[in-house]
A and B are shown apart, each in its own frame.
Chain A
């Protein structure tokens, strides 16, 4: 089935975006990429040692991957913009995932600062993918500011709590004419499949794979779940009925 996802002019066949944090060793990353089939990988610029230190994470990311540097650590739009520019200057490409977080307890994004950063960076030619709290007005403003996709959270980062914001994400999928990439909170392959069945364009995951007992097996499980969910969405889910549809209806005699 040819069903590409096009973001910022790049055509992707995989709808699973992965992260690089929380692994027990960076050497796991190439194998996670391989088993997950992912083509997009997000990396926190704050963790990238641009002086090329021994533990430089970039050494472990194969060149065929689309890099999605993120502005993790930014508290303001200005900081996010500065980090994005640093990433591009360092040769990490022109994609950027905006993360502006002022709340260190729950790590919930600041949508207003995220919109400001998106406006600035999209105007500078970045392919901007903002991480956001699922709010319709904010998502529309992000779209109008030039975002290439929007990335609402399913649950707070790192919690593995699943699609807690399902209803709000459903509204974004219906109302915002941009790819909706569910980012953060998904802990189980079944939840990723559910997001894809709803019509999400892709899913971004890190903790669920990185903290699994067998990260490679989990990477593969997510690959399959996302593929299954997408196929189900394209196939069109059957209608959900409130009461059983009897094969011999009680009112059949009326026709």
Chain B
């Protein structure tokens, strides 16, 4: 069993027609329920929900307060390497771009860690381009060994791995997995992923489930919004999250809502996702999955982020650089342009002004460190 089977059923839906059929009564019905089903999720994502956005926002805020209070977890990404064997039409790390590629030495990883830890953050997300040859699992493990001295939670965002490899990383001290499907719509996926192992749709789709089976504490998924009809992509993302949540109740399943951002190339995505649409997606996620984390990245501008924290977001990045070694080195190539360049201190102050408590640490890695060879 895999979400792929569920997806096969969901792909048959006549989405264009469906979005027209839902009415404000369907949206109100969804609003009045505690546990929402597939039809309620479709209603909340349909155009009929737009005039009721404020009512939905009120309920989303109430649910978020009840389950998460006034706490906002903070983390930052650390880019370890930008070598990549894939040609994806929307990413600066694509193998077709000719720029000096970098991979941090363990000393450089340590310096990055020192700088990030000095800001107070204890949660980190480590990222690489997708290249098994340049960034093998053994390299990630070596980096994790260094990072464990500085951080109480380490998540990975790297190429999809096999269950046994995820287990290896779990035993090394990694506790979270982030892996975006990028695009759920299979034809569009094929068009955007021109060359490389990332073209294997199914391998990517099943990877979060392999992460759950391996025993990661948290798994974060999402679609890169803008690549295909956002309503359909948001629907399939949320259904994927619910699928994982139902089967792996011990794993915290969360969702991210990244929107396409300018990068090194000139590709422009097919679908515009307005701020209002983004809000509708976040609210639908909150009502459909009341206890799930929702992560907001610095892809979004500061002013918008300040508003979105009230609508269901529970985790946000701060003090971000999307370059390899961006916290210590200079002159790297960012994976994409960020919009909110505020420091951890500035984000912290903004949260306090908005009556939120920034949470720098929300977990300790409980895996025993590997014994030192004698």
Task: Select A207's contact among B66, B359, B360, B366, beta carbons within 8 Å.
Answer: B66
Determine the residue in chain B with the shortest Cβ distance to A46: B363
Q: Which of A21, A47, A83 has the most CB of B within 10 A?
A: A47
Q: Which of B25-66 contact A (CB under 8 A)?
A: 65-66
A22–B366 contact, CB under 8 A?
no
A25–B357 contact, CB under 8 A?
yes
In angstroms, Cα B314 to Cα A21, docked, is 14
A102–B70 contact, CB under 8 A?
no
Chain B residues contacting A104 (CB-CB under 8 Å) are 245, 249-253, 291
Chain B residues contacting A55 (CB-CB under 8 Å) are 120, 348, 357-360
Task: Select A82's contact among B71, B122, B253, B366, beta carbons within 8 Å.
Answer: B366
B360–A160 contact, CB under 8 A?
no
Report the minimum CB–CB distance from B62 to chain A (whole Å). 9
Q: If the complex has contacts A24-B355, A25-B352, A47-B359, are A103 and B249 also in contact, measured as CB distance less than 8 A?
A: yes
Interface residue B107 (Cβ < 8 Å from any Cβ of A)? no
Task: Select A46's contact among B70, B352, B364, beta carbons within 8 Å.
Answer: B364
Q: Which of B65, B66, B253 has the most CB of A within 10 A?
A: B66
Interface residue A64 (Cβ < 8 Å from any Cβ of B)? no
Q: Which of A181-212 contact B (CB under 8 A)?
A: 207, 210-211
Q: A-facing mask of B257-299, CB < 8 A → 1, else 0?
A: 0000000000000000000000000000000000100000000
Chain B residues contacting A45 (CB-CB under 8 Å) are 364
Interface residue A158 (Cβ < 8 Å from any Cβ of B)? yes
Q: Which of B249, B352, B356, B357 has the most CB of A within 10 A?
A: B357
Report the minimum CB–CB distance from B312 to chain A (whole Å). 15
Determine the residue in chain A with the shortest Cβ distance to B62: A211
Task: Select A73's contact among B249, B359, B363, beta carbons within 8 Å.
Answer: B363
Interface size class of B (residues with CB under 8 A): 20 to 34
Interface residue A86 (Cβ < 8 Å from any Cβ of B)? yes
Task: Select A102's contact among B245, B250, B357, beta carbons within 8 Å.
Answer: B250
In angstroms, Cα B217 to Cα A102, docked, is 10
Q: If the complex has contacts A49-B122, A54-B120, are A22 and B249 also in contact, measured as CB distance less than 8 A?
A: no
Q: If the complex has contacts A46-B364, A53-B120, A105-B291, are A159 and B66 also in contact, measured as CB distance less than 8 A?
A: yes
Chain A residues contacting B65 (CB-CB under 8 Å) are 211
A207–B249 contact, CB under 8 A?
no
Report the minimum CB–CB distance from B242 to chain A (whole Å). 10
Interface size class of A (residues with CB under 8 A): 20 to 34
In angstroms, Cα B226 to Cα A158, docked, is 35
Q: Which of A101-129 contact B (CB under 8 A)?
A: 102-107
B252–A47 contact, CB under 8 A?
no
Interface residue A79 (Cβ < 8 Å from any Cβ of B)? yes
Chain B residues contacting A79 (CB-CB under 8 Å) are 366
Q: Which of B357-372 contact A (CB under 8 A)?
A: 357-364, 366
B355–A211 contact, CB under 8 A?
no
Interface SS, A side: loop
Task: Select B250's contact among A48, A75, A207, beta carbons within 8 Å.
Answer: A75
Chain A residues contacting B291 (CB-CB under 8 Å) are 104-107
Q: B-facing mask of A21-52, CB < 8 A → 1, else 0?
A: 11111100000000000000000011111000
A210–B70 contact, CB under 8 A?
yes
Q: A-facing mask of B331-370, CB < 8 A → 1, else 0?
A: 0000000000000000010001001111111111010000
Interface residue B68 (Cβ < 8 Å from any Cβ of A)? yes
In angstroms, Cα B360 to Cα A193, docked, is 36
Interface residue B67 (Cβ < 8 Å from any Cβ of A)? yes
Q: B-facing mask of A132-166, CB < 8 A → 1, else 0?
A: 00000000000000000000000000111000000
Determine the residue in chain A with the shortest Cβ distance to B246: A105
A21–B71 contact, CB under 8 A?
yes
B70–A211 contact, CB under 8 A?
yes
Report the minimum CB–CB distance from B38 to chain A (whole Å). 16
Chain A residues contacting B67 (CB-CB under 8 Å) are 158
Chain A residues contacting B366 (CB-CB under 8 Å) are 79, 82-83
Interface residue B136 (Cβ < 8 Å from any Cβ of A)? no
B69–A53 contact, CB under 8 A?
no
Determine the residue in chain B with the shortest Cβ distance to A82: B366
Chain B residues contacting A54 (CB-CB under 8 Å) are 120, 360
Chain B residues contacting A105 (CB-CB under 8 Å) are 245, 249, 291
In angstroms, Cα B65 to Cα A54, docked, is 24
Report the minimum CB–CB distance from A136 to chain B (whole Å). 25
Chain A residues contacting B120 (CB-CB under 8 Å) are 53-55
Q: If the complex has contacts A75-B250, A79-B366, are A53 and B360 also in contact, measured as CB distance less than 8 A?
A: yes
Q: Which of A75, A104, A106 has the most CB of B within 10 A?
A: A104
A104-B253, A158-B67 known; 10 new pairs, CB 8 Å cut-off, are A22-B68, A23-B70, A24-B356, A45-B364, A73-B363, A83-B364, A104-B291, A105-B291, A207-B69, A211-B70
9 closest A-B pairs by beta carbon, nearest first, are A22-B69, A24-B70, A24-B355, A102-B250, A103-B249, A46-B363, A49-B361, A54-B120, A211-B65
7 A-B contacts, Cβ less than 8 Å apart?
A: A22-B70, A23-B71, A24-B355, A55-B120, A55-B358, A103-B249, A105-B249
Contact surface of B with A, Cβ cutoff 8 Å: 65-71, 120, 122, 152, 217, 245, 249-253, 291, 348, 352, 355-364, 366
